Structure formats: structure tokens, C-alpha cells
């Protein structure tokens, strides 16, 4: 399982951290990238449409203990909220936000920060 964090500011600057796993003998890696304010805006619009700050903190499928887990965090207006989505049990609006974040990740040229 890959764990990563992507932070985007309104100007389009972004930092991505791919978390290591002590059990697997891997370490954290940090990357910096530049996008555009428009790309940030695109993600922010999807988050607003999802009413992100009104979502539950956690969505889990009752029948599945293992599988994919994705945590999305937004920070805006002095508030911070994280939503865990296990096995895509969350609402469609959350999945659209997750997809927008993953598309943002793919659109940026990342350079490792040492």
C-alpha cells in the first residue's frame, strides 16, 4: 500500500510526501512541484462541490477489512478536516475529489527535496 500526502497552496506550489514503511525498510521521500493557481482552483471547486467539511470523518465498507484506504485532508479558512475512505465506501462526491487530487498529482512534475 502506498501512502502519500499532497499539499497545494492557492498559488499552485505543491509538496508531496510519499511515506516510508519501517516494516518494509523504506523511508519517507519529499517532492516539490509547481502547478498553476487554476489547477489549485480546479481541486478547490471539486472540494466545495463535495461539501467536504460536512462529510463524515470516515467511510468503511462493512464487509471488507482489508483493501485500499485513502485519507483526504483539506485546510481552508482556518479549518482542517480529514476524511478516510476505505474501499471506496464514501459518497460519489468524495471519490470525485480523490480523483481530482490524483489527477493533480499526475499533472505536476515533481522534484525530490533532499
What is the rounded average pLDDT for all residues in the chain?
87
The helix (run of H) or strand (run of E) holding residue 7 is: strand 3-8
Distance CA 91, CA 75 (A): 20
Domain, as residue range, for 27: 3-113
Count of Cβ atoms closer than 10 Å to residue 7 Cβ: 11
Angle made by CA atoms 51, 91, 79, in degrees to the nearest 5: 30
Flag whether pLDDT at 1 surpasses 60.
no
Distance CA 76, CA 7 (A): 12
Tens digits of per-residue pLDDT, 12-67? 889 988 878 777 788 889 999 998 888 889 999 999 999 999 999 999 887 766 67
Predicted model pTM: 0.81
Distance CA 51, CA 78 (A): 16
pLDDT at residue 46, rounded to an integer: 95
What would the grid cell of residue 63 be?
464487509
| Count: domains in the chain | 1
DSSP 3-state of 43: helix
Flag whether pLDDT at 2 surpasses 70.
no
Flag whether pLDDT at 94 surpasses 90.
yes
pLDDT at residue 3, rounded to an integer: 66
The helix (run of H) or strand (run of E) holding residue 40 is: helix 37-49
Distance CA 2, CA 68 (A): 9
pLDDT at residue 21, rounded to an integer: 76
What would the grid cell of residue 8 be?
497545494
Amino acid at each position: 500500500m502506498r501512502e502519500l500526502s499532497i499539499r497545494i497552496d492557492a498559488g499552485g506550489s505543491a509538496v508531496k510526501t510519499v511515506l516510508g514503511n519501517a516494516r518494509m525498510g523504506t523511508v519517507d521521500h519529499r517532492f516539490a512541484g509547481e502547478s498553476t493557481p487554476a489547477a489549485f482552483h480546479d481541486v478547490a471547486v471539486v472540494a466545495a462541490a463535495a461539501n467536504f467539511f460536512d462529510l463524515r470523518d470516515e467511510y468503511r465498507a462493512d464487509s471488507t477489512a482489508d483493501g485500499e484506504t485513502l485519507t483526504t485532508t483539506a485546510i481552508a479558512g482556518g479549518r482542517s478536516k480529514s476524511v478516510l475512505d476505505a474501499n471506496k465506501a464514501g459518497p460519489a462526491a468524495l471519490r470525485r475529489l480523490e480523483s481530482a487530487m490524483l489527477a493533480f498529482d499526475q499533472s505536476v512534475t515533481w522534484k525530490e527535496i533532499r
